[in-house]
């Protein structure tokens, strides 16, 4: 190992155990899940630290959201973090590029260690309260037509759940397309100017060091610091992170999903919205008595999503659902 992971808890692994466990761990983004420990990143190095499972008391997602996320006034993006509580209240926060990677990490952790709580204490309380409030809104008895609609949607949900890779890709590419499409060209110009100045600063510092001039190291440090900041912001287009690439990836994901359900003429929603969360929200609309048919439930569900903007306060469950499926509707302009 080039860098031996640093133990953050009280339970340490021998060098041999650590090498074997880290080598075979499930890599998700910058972190990893081994059989004996989880591996967490530093700011620059992936899987730089490790914490034994027996030291972990709680592991959950934390999200910082950009201003105007749902309103169209800002970039529809989020800054996701994985938070690990360990020891006597200590906490390690790891930054991820994509929120879906945090969800995948927690999903794999749940399979491996179901006894570890995957929400913060506050989130657990809010989730229980939200579930109680949601159940209180449900009709005590559904009409035969509503029962038939719910059954049709449950069948569709079971079908789409057999294709997790396709619907996850559809959601991820829609979100990425939305983020890139909403980047203000002014931000890109400013970022480009900063990058050019940072490169000049770094080159001047290197030249000055070779000439033996004092204070040169600061030009190098500041130059490379701002280079890393601009690159990590993902504002500037790259060979992969650009509008054309984002459009193609989303179109490929949509084509894949269309092919997946093309043989199902009775599938109740368009392929661009084929996601379990969409179906679950439609079922909820019917159970609340706000719709009877599948078509009515779909229209009502779309109206609900339209009304959600940056000024609306939602529960944790609602937030997780919205950031997953709302980009799919935004890139299609709700068509």
d(CA 105, CA 40): 11
Domain end residue (candidates: 118, 140, 165)? 118
In this structure, the number of other CB atoms found within 10 A of the CB of residue 74 comes to 15
pTM: 0.65
Cα-Cα-Cα-Cα torsion 283, 66, 331, 30, nearest 10 degrees, comes to -90
Query: For residue 53, is it within any domain?
Result: yes
pLDDT at 48 over 60: yes
What pLDDT, on a 0 to 100 scale, did the predictor assign at position 286? Answer: 95
DSSP-assigned states of every residue in 29-67: TTEEE-SSEEEE--SSSTT-EEEEGGGEEEEEEEEEE-T
Of the two residues 277 and 316, the one the predictor is more confident about is 277
Average pLDDT rounded to a whole number, residues 68-82: 55
Distance of CA 197 to CAs 207, 217, 278, Å? Answer: 15, 16, 46
Range with the lowest mean pLDDT among 34-43, 64-73, 94-103, 268-277?
Answer: 64-73
47, pLDDT greater than 80: yes
Per-residue pLDDT band for 75 (boundaries 50, 70, 90) equals very low
By CB atoms closer than 10 A (0-12, 13-18, 19+), residue 126 is middle
**190 domain-assigned:** yes
Other beta carbons within 10 angstroms of residue 33's beta carbon come to: 19
Say if residue 247 is in the same domain as residue 192: no
- How many angstroms separate the CA atoms of 260 and 265, rounded? 11
287 and 174, same domain (yes or no): yes
Number of CB atoms found within 10 A of residue 132's CB: 9
Measuring CA to CA, how many Å separate 263 from each of 171, 252, 277?
A: 21, 18, 22
221 to 189, 205, 218: CA distances (angstroms): 23, 8, 5
- Element of type H or E holding 77: none
Is 301 or 242 the better-scoring residue by pLDDT? Answer: 301
CA proximity to 112, closest of 48, 19, 25, 40? 25
Residues 251 and 174 both lie in one domain: yes
In a domain, 49, yes or no: yes
Is the pLDDT at 18 greater than 50? The verdict is yes
Please indicate, yes or no, if residue 276 is contained in any of the structural domains.
yes
User: How does pLDDT run across 208-249, given as a tens digit for each residue?
Assistant: 888 777 777 888 888 888 888 877 766 777 666 678 888 899
Would 254 be classed as within a structural domain? yes
- End residue of a domain, out of 213, 233, 253: 233
Q: Domain of 218?
A: 185-233
Q: Would you state the pLDDT for residue 44?
A: 79
**Is 196 found in the same domain as 90?**
no
The mean pLDDT value of the chain amounts to 85
Could you report the per-residue pLDDT of 176-196, keeping only the tens digit for each? 888 888 777 787 788 888 888
Structure confidence at residue 113 (pLDDT): 93
Task: Report the range out of 46-60, 192-206, 216-230, 304-318 with the highest average pLDDT.
Answer: 46-60
pLDDT at 284 over 90: yes
**Phi, psi at residue 91, to the nearest 5°?**
-145, 135
Is the distance from CB of 237 to CB of 188 less than 8 angstroms? yes
Q: Binning pLDDT at 50, 70 and 90, where does residue 1 land?
A: low
Tell me 106's DSSP state. H
Pairing outcome for strands 78-86 and 90-95: antiparallel
Q: Where a domain ends, among 78, 99, 118? A: 118
Question: Is residue 245 domain-shared with residue 319, that is, in the same domain?
Answer: yes
* pLDDT (0 to 100) of residue 292: 94
Say if residue 156 is in the same domain as residue 284: yes
Report the number of distinct structural domains present in the chain.
3
pLDDT over 60 at 274, yes or no: yes
What's the pLDDT band for 69 if we cut at 50, 70, 90? very low
pLDDT bracket for residue 33 (50, 70, 90) = very high
Which is nearest to 117 in space by CA: 88, 83, 78? 83
**Residue 59, pLDDT score:** 94
Average pLDDT over residues 195-199: 88
> Do 216 and 133 belong together in one domain?
no
Under the banding of pLDDT at 50, 70 and 90, the label for residue 76 is: very low
Amino acid 245: pLDDT: 86
Identify whether the C-beta of residue 176 lies closer than 8 Å to the C-beta of residue 252. no
Pair 313, 171 in one domain: yes
pLDDT digits (tens, 9 = 90+) for 120-148: 888 888 888 888 888 888 898 999 999 99
- Put residue 61 in one of left, alpha, beta given phi > 0 → left and psi -120 to 50 → alpha: beta
28/106 same-domain check: yes
Looking at the chain, the whole-number percentage of residues with pLDDT higher than 70 is: 92
Whether the per-residue pLDDT at 67 is higher than 60: the answer is no
What CATH number is attached to the domain comprising 59?
2.30.29
- Which among 203, 199, 200, 251 has a CA at the least distance from the CA of 227? 199
**Judgement on whether residues 311 and 167 belong to the same structural domain of the protein:** yes
Same domain flag for 149 and 28: no
Q: Within a domain: residue 14?
A: yes
Residue 271's pLDDT band, with cuts at 50, 70 and 90, is very high
Q: Is residue 217 located within the same domain as residue 275?
A: no
* Burial category of 31 from C-beta neighbours within 10 Å (exposed 0-12, middle 13-18, buried 19 and up): buried
The alpha-carbon radius of gyration of the chain (Å, integer) is 24
Bridge-based pairing of strands 6-7 and 49-52 is parallel
Any domain includes 1: no
**Statement: residue 308 has pLDDT above 60:** yes
For residue 335, being part of any structural domain is answered with no
């Amino acid at each position: 190992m080039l860098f031996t992971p640093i133990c953050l808890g009280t339970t340490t692994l021998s060098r041999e155990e650590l090498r074997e466990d880290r080598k075979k761990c499930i890599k998700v983004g910058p972190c990893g899940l081994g059989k004996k420990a989880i591996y967490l990143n530093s700011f620059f190095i992936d899987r730089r630290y490790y914490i034994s499972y027996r030291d972990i008391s709680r592991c959950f997602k934390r999200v910082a959201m950009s201003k105007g996320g749902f309103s169209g006034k800002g970039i529809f993006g989020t800054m996701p973090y994985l938070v690990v509580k360990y020891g006597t209240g200590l906490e390690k926060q790891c930054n991820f590029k994509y929120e879906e990677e945090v969800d995948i990490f927690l999903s794999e952790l749940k399979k491996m260690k179901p006894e570890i709580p995957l929400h913060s204490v506050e989130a657990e309380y809010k989730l229980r309260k939200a579930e109680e409030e949601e159940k209180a809104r449900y009709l005590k008895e559904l009409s035969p037509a509503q029962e038939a609609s719910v059954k049709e949607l449950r069948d569709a949900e079971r079908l789409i759940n057999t294709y997790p890779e396709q619907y996850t890709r559809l959601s991820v590419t829609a979100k990425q397309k939305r983020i890139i499409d909403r980047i203000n060209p002014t931000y890109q110009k400013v970022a480009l100017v900063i990058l050019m100045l940072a490169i000049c600063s770094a080159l001047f510092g290197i030249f000055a060091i070779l000439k033996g001039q004092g204070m040169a190291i600061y030009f190098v440090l500041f130059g490379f610091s701002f280079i890393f900041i601009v690159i990590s912001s993902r504002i500037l287009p790259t060979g992969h992170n650009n509008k054309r690439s984002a459009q193609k990836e989303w179109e490929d994901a949509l084509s894949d999903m269309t092919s997946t359900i093309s043989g199902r003429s009775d599938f109740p929603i368009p392929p661009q919205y084929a996601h379990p969360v969409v179906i679950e929200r439609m079922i909820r609309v019917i159970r609340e008595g706000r719709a009877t048919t599948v078509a009515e439930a779909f229209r009502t569900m779309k109206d609900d999503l339209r009304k959600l903007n940056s000024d609306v306060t939602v529960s944790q469950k609602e937030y997780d659902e919205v950031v997953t499926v709302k980009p799919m509707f935004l890139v299609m302009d709700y068509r």
